[in-house]
């Protein structure tokens, strides 16, 4: 680790594949559709340098993480950590939007998990652009789980600032947090009678979780009205803990979803993330599942017109997501209205010169958005260019999807994993789609 940290700054810049991750199996309790992987874990600057997320392993979810030097050894934090985190989250020539977003700004992971640590310092280290990338991620349907510092950082501000936005915070939950004043301890937690976490676990049937680690964490401050869309999940059982301004029965865990298009945010002021058994493992697992069940709705790229080619060739920097190229393991969804007595529909996918060595698949169906596992029609030959023919189609909406099966490979390093291989896919694969019917 130390020898790696002595690498020159020039060498770091030369390996723009600084996508530092800790990868697990892509098999999950529910397959991710239209995402590269399930979870991105932020173990970045001034956060716990966590490599393992037991709840994700327990559920068979895929995840990756940026892992900086430990925040307990601040002298080990170097310019390398800053460069890696900035390239990763903000973007680089190799990956203009950064690891969290597809070329069109859609979420590349189903969920971000932000560790505990030092919320303000980590938020500042992300930079204005990095924080904006995370806001865009949630805005477009990616979900977020934060524990302790992650809960602080997700909020708009802290109560003692009298409602002012807090420097370095994300503001993806537009409410305020307050410090418990308790460090290096543990509390019980009461499960709210209507908590949506009960959909995933009954926590022994007594509506209480015992001994959840707590270290300087927060609670949701509700002297003022909660933001609309906030749900109370758990409350602290801290009746026997003697601290100034007791937080007994204050809100310890809560969730928020701003709209059907946005991702769900699930926050807790304590630390269930490292537990490997029992109800606390079930708690972290339920939080992750509830967050991912709250991913934003699929969005249409647009409605196709009979015989008119649609060129999906733009890049992130063009700021035209409806016509931007497709990313790795991403779906682009389209729709066309089929008139009565139509005899044949032909869907053509064409490559752009110089962009032929990629595998894009076609699928179609009638009910709703289609994926590879529920399509009534599909064409999965290798390459970009292909034709899908549908005889005697039904009248009405025909949904069509393009799926990019080409993706990056992983190379293990001392700080996680670099992306290698087909890194060119990170900025998107352009294509042209045309639908014709008669």
pLDDT of residue 347: 98
pLDDT, position 222? 84
pLDDT at 327 (0 to 100): 98
Q: What is the pLDDT of residue 7?
A: 36
Residue 302 exposure: Cα atoms within 13 Å on the Cβ side? 16
- Residues pairing with 191 in the sheet: 234
pLDDT band at 14 (very low <50, low <70, confident <90, very high): very low
pLDDT at 75 over 60: no
Model pTM score: 0.91
φ, ψ of residue 374 in degrees (nearest 5): -130, 10
Mean pLDDT of the 108-116 span: 97
Q: Residue 137: its pLDDT value, please?
A: 98
The pLDDT confidence band at residue 240, using thresholds 50, 70 and 90, is confident
Domains with residue ranges and CATH for the chain? 2-293 (3.40.50.880), 302-407+424-437 (2.60.120.380)
pLDDT tens for 292-332 read 999 999 999 999 999 999 999 999 999 999 999 999 999 99
Tens of pLDDT, residue by residue over 139-166, are 999 999 999 999 999 999 999 888 889 9
Bridge partners, 65 (sequence order)? 41
Residue 158 belongs to what H/E stretch? strand 155-158
For residue 77, name the pLDDT band (cuts at 50, 70, 90).
Answer: low
Give the lowest-confidence range in 2-6, 98-102, 219-223.
2-6
pLDDT-derived band at 226 (thresholds 50, 70, 90) equals confident
- pLDDT of 180 above 50: yes
Instruction: Give the residue with greater pLDDT, 226 vs 289.
Output: 289
Residue 5: predicted pLDDT: 37
Residue bearing the bigger pLDDT, 402 or 22? 402
Q: How far is the C-alpha of 377 from the C-alpha of 77, rounded, in Å?
A: 52
The whole-angstrom separation of Cα 168 and Cα 412 is 31
d(CA 401, CA 363): 5
Selection from 207, 253, 219 nearest residue 234 by Cα:
253
Give me the pLDDT at residue 414, please: 65
Lowest-pLDDT range, 179-183, 270-274, 411-415, 416-420?
411-415
* pLDDT per position as a tens digit, 397-437: 999 999 999 999 988 776 767 899 999 999 999 999 999 99
Q: What digits encode the pLDDT tens for the residues 340-394?
A: 999 999 999 999 999 999 999 999 999 899 999 999 999 999 999 999 999 999 9
Residue-averaged pLDDT of the chain: 90
Mean pLDDT of 17-25: 38
Res. 33 pLDDT band, cuts 50 70 90: confident
Place 76 in a pLDDT band, splitting at 50, 70 and 90. Answer: low
Residues 346 and 362: their CA atoms lie apart, in Å, by 11
**Half-sphere CA count of 375, side-chain side, radius 13 A:** 23
Mean pLDDT of 241-259: 92
Cβ–Cβ < 8 Å for 327, 425: yes
Tokens of residue 328, six digits: 């790795």
3-state class (DSSP) for residue 368: coil
Top mean pLDDT of 27-41, 119-133, 223-237 is at: 119-133
pLDDT higher than threshold 60 for residue 19: no
pLDDT score of 13: 35
∠ Cα 151 133 421 (to 5°): 115
């Amino acid at each position: 680790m130390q020898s790696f940290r002595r690498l020159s700054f020039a060498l770091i810049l030369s390996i723009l594949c600084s996508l530092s991750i800790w990868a697990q199996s892509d098999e999950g309790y529910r397959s991710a559709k239209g995402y590269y992987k399930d979870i991105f874990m932020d173990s970045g600057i001034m956060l716990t340098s966590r490599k393992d997320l037991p709840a994700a392993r327990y559920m068979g979810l895929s995840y990756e993480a940026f892992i900086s030097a430990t925040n307990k050894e601040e002298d080990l934090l170097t310019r390398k950590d800053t460069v890696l985190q900035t390239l990763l989250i903000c973007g680089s020539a190799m990956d203009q939007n950064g690891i969290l977003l597809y070329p069109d700004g859609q979420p590349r992971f189903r969920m971000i998990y932000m560790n505990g640590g030092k919320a303000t310092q980590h938020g500042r280290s992300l930079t204005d652009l990095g924080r904006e990338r995370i806001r865009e991620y949630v805005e477009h349907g990616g979900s977020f789980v934060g524990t302790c510092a992650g809960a602080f950082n997700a909020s708009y501000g802290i109560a003692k600032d009298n409602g002012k936005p807090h420097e370095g915070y994300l503001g993806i939950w537009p409410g305020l947090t307050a410090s418990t004043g308790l460090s290096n301890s543990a509390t019980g937690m009461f499960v709210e009678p209507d908590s949506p976490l009960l959909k995933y676990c009954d926590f022994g049937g007594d509506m209480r979780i015992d001994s959840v680690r707590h270290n300087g964490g927060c609670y949701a401050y509700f002297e003022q009205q909660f933001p609309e869309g906030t749900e109370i999940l758990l409350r602290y059982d801290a009746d026997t803990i003697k601290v100034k301004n007791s937080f007994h029965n204050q809100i310890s865990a809560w969730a928020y979803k701003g709209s059907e298009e946005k991702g769900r945010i699930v926050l807790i002021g304590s630390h269930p993330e490292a537990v490997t058994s029992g109800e606390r493992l079930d708690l972290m697992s339920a939080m992750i599942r509830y967050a991912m069940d709250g991913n934003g709705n699929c969005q249409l790229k647009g409605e196709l017109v009979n015989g008119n080619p649609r060129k999906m060739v733009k890049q992130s920097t063009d700021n035209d997501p409806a016509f931007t190229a497709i990313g790795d393991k991403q779906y682009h969804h389209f729709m066309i209205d089929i008139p009565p007595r139509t005899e044949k529909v032909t869907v053509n996918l064409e490559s752009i010169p110089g962009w032929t060595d990629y595998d894009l698949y076609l699928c179609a169906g009638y009910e709703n958005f289609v994926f590879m596992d529920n399509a009534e029609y599909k064409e999965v030959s290798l390459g970009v260019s292909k034709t899908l023919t549908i005889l005697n189609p039904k009248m009405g909406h025909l949904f069509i999807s393009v799926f990019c099966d080409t993706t990056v490979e992983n190379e293990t390093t001392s700080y996680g994993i670099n992306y290698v291989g087909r890194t060119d896919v990170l900025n998107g694969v352009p294509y042209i789609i045309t639908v014709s019917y008669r």
